[in-house]
Amino acid sequence: MNVLNEWAFIGMFAVLAPIFPALPIVIAWLFRPRKPNVLKSSTYECGVETIGDTWVQFRVQYYIYGLIFLVFDVEMVFLFPWAAAYNEMSLFGFVAGFLFIFLLTDALFYAWQKNALEWK
């Protein structure tokens, strides 16, 4: 199997994977009763009438967690090739990788110091 054939397999898998859960849903769609009414299709909030828009304001802390996650996630772009090349790597390259991790730990440390990790 050459490289692109592998990915043809993945592509086929990716096409079929949503079809598996879609099948029972479609079958259920054929069999299920359909008796919608206004109350049933209204938004469920424990029986209380919905007030205002759904898009209420959210706290900024969600964004900050997402932000720290993004930085660490992007770091993986470099750390995974680094780890894959680890066994044949020279000492210089190894130290460079260390420096990379160290610099990012700094950022985490800053966030910690500024209480940005607190759920407030």
Partner 1 sequence: MVPLWMYLAVAAALFSLGVFGALSRRNAVAVLMSVELMLNAVNINLVAFWRYSETSTDLLLNGYAFTAFVLIVAAAEAAVGLAIIITVYRNRRSVIPEEAAALKG
Partner 2 sequence: MELNAISIGFVVFTIFTLGGGIGVVTTRNLFQGTIWLMVSLFGVAGYFVLLSAPFLAAVQILVYIGAIAILITFAVMLTRSVTRIKTRYIRLVPSLLASLALFLILLLGVTMPIFGGVSPEHAPATVASTRDLGAALVDENGYVVPFLLASVLLTGAMIGAIFIARDDTA
Partner 3 sequence: MDEICTGLCRLMVDSGADAGLAQFVSLLVGVLLVSGVPLLTVILLIWIERKVAARIQDRIGPNRVGPIGLMQTFADLLKLLGKEDITPTAADRLLYNVAPLVSFASVVLIWAVVPFTPFHYGVDLEIGALFFVAVASFGTLAIMVAGWASNNKYALLGAFRVVSLLVSYEVPLVFALLVPVLLAGSMSMLDIVNAQSGMWFVVLSPLAFIIFYISSQAETGRAPFDLIEAESELVAGFNIEYSGMKFGMFFAAEFLHVFTNGILMALLFFGGWMGPLYYESPLIAFAWLGAKGGIIYLTTLWLRNTVPRLRIDQIMAFNWKCLVPLSIANIVLVSLALKVLQELDMAPRQLIGASFADMLPATILLLLINGALTLYLLGILRRRGKDARREAQAAPVQFARATAATAD
If binding is defined by CB under 8 A, does position 60 make contact with partner 1?
yes
Q: Which residues bind partner 2 (CB under 8 A)?
A: 3-5, 7-8, 11, 53, 55, 57-60, 62-64, 66-71, 73-78, 80-86, 88-90, 92-94, 96-97, 99-100, 103-104, 106-107, 110-111, 114, 116, 120
Among 78, 98, 109, 110, binds partner 1 (CB under 8 A): 78
What Rg, from alpha-carbon coordinates, does the chain have?
25
The amino acid occupying position 87 is N
Token pair for residue 10?
Answer: 């993945």
The amino acid occupying position 65 is Y
d(Cα 10, Cα 47) in Å, to the nearest integer? 45
Least distance between partner 3 and beta carbon 105 (Å): 6
Among 7, 9, 29, 63, binds partner 1 (CB under 8 A): 63
d(Cα 60, Cα 5) in Å, to the nearest integer? 45
d(Cα 71, Cα 79) in Å, to the nearest integer? 12
State the residues that interact with partner 1 by CB under 8 A: 60, 63, 67, 70-71, 73-74, 77-78
